[in-house]
């Protein structure tokens, strides 16, 4: 579903070069649920932007659903859904349902298919109470659920989310997590998310990619990640230890990474 080979991305900032992502290689198979972790500034968002065609790599090669994202943005948009937790893709002044109708038109979703899909998503994400509310009046949790629904109206095979639970209270977070878990388990949608919330990782992600200084520092299961720091059992302490000791060089996971088996969920 996703293949990144020796991908790099630099930015020129006031005459000097920032290496946001360096020599990043990984594959994500259809049906996986993968979490991308890393300290602030590690290169996670830059990676997501390259996978979704917003940025082109300056070196290496990316394919998503068989397409080069930065060259085939329109074709890719039909196959993937994208949610940025810190930014909405909805129309601020329109009622949520009108935003959905615009998404339907943009993605050319058949009216009947759209009606059925929106009905399912509205039920699963509990949107019924605010479909007629302008987006600017929604709470963050409501807006996030609306954004997730908008990203899924065209039924993409891959959902990419950049910090989908940021700023959500525990109940909203649980609702979003439960929805994503079911989307992956029941519909087989491949999910890749970035997060700083280790609860997302522990509860959802069968596989973790840890990015540090723009490089892939770890690729394995949550249990593999825990095993990297003997004596630490809490995932937060393990990750804090890894960030503080900031390796910036590739680590090898203690066990092989999961295959394309359907992911199982731990909570
Ligand atoms: N458009 C840009 N121009 C210049 N530098 C950039 C740009 N986008 C990202 N960077 C730099 O690239 C590096 C990686 O940034 P990125 O946003 O990918 O990190 P991140 O892991 O998503 O961080 P956070 O967890 O804080 O969101 C940082 O040093 C950042 O300052």
d(CA 29, CA 134): 38
In this structure, the residues whose C-beta lies within 6 A of any atom of ligand 1 are 11, 13, 18, 20, 38, 40-46
The most distant pair of C-alpha atoms in the chain lies apart, rounded to whole Å, by: 56
Q: 74-97, pLDDT tens digit by residue?
A: 889 989 999 998 889 899 999 999
On the question of pLDDT at 178 being above 80, the answer is yes
**Domain extent listing, the chain:** 2-244
Q: 191-237, pLDDT tens digit by residue?
A: 999 999 998 999 999 999 999 999 999 999 998 988 888 887 788 88
Q: Which pLDDT value is given to residue 240? A: 86
CATH topology of domain 2-244: Rossmann fold (3.40.50)
Q: 33-81, pLDDT tens digit by residue?
A: 999 999 999 999 999 999 999 999 999 999 999 999 999 988 899 899 9
d(CA 229, CA 37): 16
In testing the pocket of ligand 1, which one of 43, 48, 210 has its CB within 8 Å of the most ligand atoms?
43
| Interval between CA 34 and ligand 1 midpoint (Å) | 20
- 3-class state of residue 155 by DSSP: coil
| Interval between CA 265 and ligand 1 midpoint (Å) | 30
> pTM higher than 0.90, yes or no?
no
């Amino acid at each position: 579903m996703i293949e990144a080979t020796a991908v790099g991305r630099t930015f020129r900032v006031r005459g000097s070069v920032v290496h946001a992502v360096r020599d990043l290689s990984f594959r994500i198979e259809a049906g996986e649920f993968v979490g991308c972790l890393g300290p602030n500034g590690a290169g996670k968002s830059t990676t997501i932007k390259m996978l979704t065609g917003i940025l082109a790599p300056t070196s290496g090669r990316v394919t998503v659903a068989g397409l080069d994202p930065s060259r085939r943005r329109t074709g890719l948009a039909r196959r993937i859904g994208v949610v940025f937790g810190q930014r909405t893709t909805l129309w601020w002044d329109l009622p949520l349902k009108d935003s959905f109708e615009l998404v339907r038109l943009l993605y050319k979703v058949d009216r009947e298919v759209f009606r059925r899909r929106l009905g399912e998503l509205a039920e699963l994400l509990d949107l019924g109470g605010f479909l007629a509310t302008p987006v600017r009046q929604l709470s963050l949790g409501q807006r996030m659920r609306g954004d997730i629904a908008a990203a899924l109206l065209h039924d993409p095979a891959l959902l990419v989310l950049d910090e989908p639970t940021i700023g959500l209270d525990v109940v909203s977070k649980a609702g979003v997590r439960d929805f994503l878990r079911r989307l992956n388990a029941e519909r087989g949608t491949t999910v890749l998310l970035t997060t700083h919330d280790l609860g997302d990782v522990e509860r959802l992600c069968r596989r973790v990619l840890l990015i540090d200084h723009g490089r892939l520092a770890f690729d394995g299961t949550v249990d593999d990640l825990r095993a990297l720091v003997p004596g630490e059992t809490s995932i937060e302490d393990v990750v804090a230890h890894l960030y503080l000791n900031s390796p910036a060089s590739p680590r090898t996971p203690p066990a092989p990474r999961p295959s394309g088996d359907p992911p199982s969920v731990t909570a």
